[in-house]
Amino acid sequence: MTVPGTMSQRISVLVAVAALVVSGLFFLNTADAEGVDADAAADIRLKINRTDPDLITGLQDDLGTATVADVVASANRTGRACNAPATNRVASFCWNSGDSSVAYWMPQGITSSSDAYDGGKVDGKDVLVTSWYDTGSSGINRGVRLSFVDMTNSTTPEYRHILLVEPYWNGSQADFRAVKAHAGGIVWYGDKLYVNNTYSGVRVFDMDDLMKVTTGDSSKIGRQANGQYMAHDYLYVLPQLGRYVPSHTGGEPEVRYSQTSLDRTTSPHSLLVSEYDANGTGTRMVRFNLDQDVYLIDEDDDGYARADWSYTVSIRSMQGVTSVNGVFYIHRSNGSANKGDLLTWVPGNTAKIHTGALPIGPEDVSYWSQKGQLWNSTEYAGKRYVFATRLSSW
């Protein structure tokens, strides 16, 4: 599938969907479309609100910078071997016992160095990145953390968590606080990291801005009275580069930025956003073209990044969607007691449901092109797997 990037070439296929489940097939009936609107995708907009560059500079002056390779090399936890109950599984691991059972951190998004770079490696290593959000149930809301996983050994990999932070001016002093977001989807593209923020759009971070802070107190965050910076006992922080603030025109409903994946098979490369809704009424997939030179979402002359394609699918409980060469791979949850489903679909055709093909609680999905694998992370405490299935087997 090719999605051109100019306004005159934009594709918008907003379709009201008739859904029919027959013998494991889910039919998305484009023939019964109501009101196909050529401008509907362009009515979905994002506009970046950048962090004051002086804030980033101020933090760098105090803390310096670190690299992804530094974080990976300093891994301080080890995953456990386990077999995720997934159809067509080709790899899996489990977090260490503490991360597998912790109740207030919830795994959500997933991406990898395959998304980030053509060669798929960082400093010669395959690196997996997942996001977790803090529920606040421990009495402290630490915001969002990322796990950087060295996949040299994909069965018992080593990994380290870091904390996302939002810079702000504390008087005249550069400071930071926790990022409060659901982080249901993440994409690492070049030196940028995209983090979904539900109805508040998308946050973006620059991987080159990683910084090392002081550890020793899990209750503290930001600049302390003694001039040290702390981050709830995490050794590294990644400050926010900016926020893509959402808006919409033409009566288009606001988008729920639930999940995001990268599609390197479109030209230009694109972000694919999908919406979660338990009932699925009106849920959409929305695609934004990317500027492959600066790794940011492509903007028009007025500064708005407009969607380049959108499609109403009305699929319930979508937890992650990715697309490869025009085929969509949809991960769907069925609550905390039932296994998840995987749907495969080409727009205008019948989608097939692989019922119960995924473990309980599947979340975001990411395509590892060099391996031909779909990677996923499940969320529920005590039932957490990180696993891959073979794309060609679906």
Helix or strand (DSSP H, E) at 99: helix 97-101
Q: What is the mean pLDDT of residues 29-57?
A: 73
Q: Rounded CA gap, 262 and 367, in Å?
A: 8
In which order are the strands placed within the sheet that holds 373-378?
A: 89-93, 386-390, 373-378, 362-368
Task: Give per-residue pLDDT as tens, 53-78.
Answer: 999 999 999 999 999 999 999 999 99
CB-neighbour burial class of residue 325 (10 A; exposed 0-12, middle 13-18, buried 19+): exposed
Task: Give per-residue pLDDT as tens, 307-322.
Answer: 999 999 999 999 999 9
Q: Indicate if the alpha-carbon torsion angle 382, 387, 391, 393 is positive or negative.
A: negative
Q: What pLDDT is attached to residue 256?
A: 98
On the question of a cis peptide bond just before residue 268, with omega within 30 degrees of 0, the verdict is yes
Report strand pairing: 350-360 vs 339-345.
antiparallel
Q: What pLDDT is attached to residue 350?
A: 84
Assess whether pLDDT exceeds 60 at residue 274. yes
% of the chain with per-residue pLDDT over 90: 89
Q: What pLDDT is attached to residue 222?
A: 98
Assess whether pLDDT exceeds 80 at residue 37. no
Task: Give per-residue pLDDT as tens, 337-371.
Answer: 999 999 999 998 988 999 999 999 999 999 999 99
Within 10 angstroms of residue 376's Cβ, the number of other Cβ atoms is 31
Q: What pLDDT is attached to residue 351?
A: 87
- Taking alpha carbons only, the member of 371, 379, 368 closest to residue 112 is 368
371 Cβ contact list (under 8 Å, min separation 6): 90, 114, 388
What's the number of CA atoms in the CB half-sphere (13 Å) around residue 351?
A: 30
Q: Rounded CA gap, 115 and 149, in Å?
A: 14
Q: Cβ distance 103 to 122 under 8 Å?
A: no
Q: What is the mean pLDDT of residues 34-39?
A: 38
Helix or strand (DSSP H, E) at 55: helix 53-63
Q: What pLDDT is attached to residue 14?
A: 35
- 222, two tokens: 């930001």
The amino acid that residue 84 corresponds to is A
Assess whether pLDDT exceeds 70 at residue 13. no
Task: Give per-residue pLDDT as tens, 78-124.
Answer: 999 999 999 999 999 999 999 999 999 999 999 999 999 999 999 99
Q: What pLDDT is attached to residue 39?
A: 62
- Taking alpha carbons only, the member of 104, 127, 130 closest to residue 117 is 127
Q: What pLDDT is attached to residue 125?
A: 96
- This prediction has a pTM of 0.92
Assess whether pLDDT exceeds 70 at residue 30. no
Radius of gyration of the chain (CA): 20
